[in-house]
Amino acid sequence: MTKLQAMTEGGKRLGHIKGLLAGMVKEGVTPLEIDTEAEKLIKEGGDKPNFKMEPGYRHSTCINVNQGIVHGIPGNTPFKAGDVVKIDMGLLHEGYHLDTSITVAIPPISPHVAKFLEVCQSSLDAAIFEAIPGHTVYDIGLAMQTVVETAGYNVIRDLTGHGIGRKLHMEPYIPCFADTKSKKFVLSVDQTVAIEAMVAMGDWHLVEDPDGWTLSTQDGSTTAMIEETVYITADGPKILTGLN
């Protein structure tokens, strides 16, 4: 099985699971319930939850609410109406890693939050559009930053997307902004990258929670995160982890 075949199949499986988990995000449901279902679904397919392979982490997902952006440990606090929930998940299929995330708002959803989530998705779309052979990681970050800041929000600057394949986290690391240092990373055919749009309504600076994992905005502003694993072909980017 080739890399493309393995990652296409793994991405299809993860995209399907992502949709099922997103459908579970309702008032009264807990993050731990979603995490338990994620592990069940991943293992039923014969795959491994790769987040559990990270040193010191015991869960199959990271789930963050409102100001939380990444690395949130799934707990027993039920979701409330109006919460903005981020589910980050991954799996290992035939020796290759896949990684994706989705943001779901629980009704009632204000027009401001709806616009915010649309901007996050648009920024990811713009970034993926730039993921073509010969372009650089800088082009991806610039596209994301431009969409987000034009809309009046801020990209997270302390976290990045990343290369992915035989390892979950590989070079190049992909900032959400136009970092001149990333101009040296030229994209090529057969490369796979996890592109992450991470956006804050307010200031982008983060603080680590006492749990030693969860990162949240210092000012308490709401965040969104949407991520896809992307395969770079001669004809352009191929999203592997889309909803299906």
**Average of pLDDT values for 160-188?**
98
**Average of pLDDT values for 101-106?**
98
**Whole-number mean pLDDT of the chain?**
98
Q: Check pLDDT > 90 for residue 66.
A: yes
Give pTM, 2 decimals.
0.97
Confidence of residue 21 (pLDDT cuts 50, 70, 90): very high
Among all chains, which residue has been given the structure tokens 């072909």?
233
Q: Check pLDDT > 90 for residue 1.
A: no
Backbone angles phi, psi at 24, to 5 degrees: -80, -15
pLDDT given for residue 116 in this prediction: 98
**Average of pLDDT values for 141-168?**
98
Among all chains, which residue has been given the structure tokens 């998940």?
89
Q: Tell me how far CA of residue 239 lies from CA of 122, 171, 176, 230, in angstroms.
A: 15, 19, 18, 5
Q: Check pLDDT > 90 for residue 23.
A: yes
Q: Check pLDDT > 90 for residue 198.
A: yes
pLDDT given for residue 14 in this prediction: 98
Could you tell me if 163 and 1 are in contact, meaning their C-beta atoms sit under 8 angstroms apart? no
Q: Which residue has the higher pLDDT, 156 or 1?
A: 156
Strand partners, 79: none
Question: Which domains are delineated in the chain?
Answer: 3-239 (3.90.230.10)
Q: Check pLDDT > 90 for residue 115.
A: yes
Number of neighbours of residue 126 by Cβ within 10 angstroms = 18
**Average of pLDDT values for 101-114?**
98
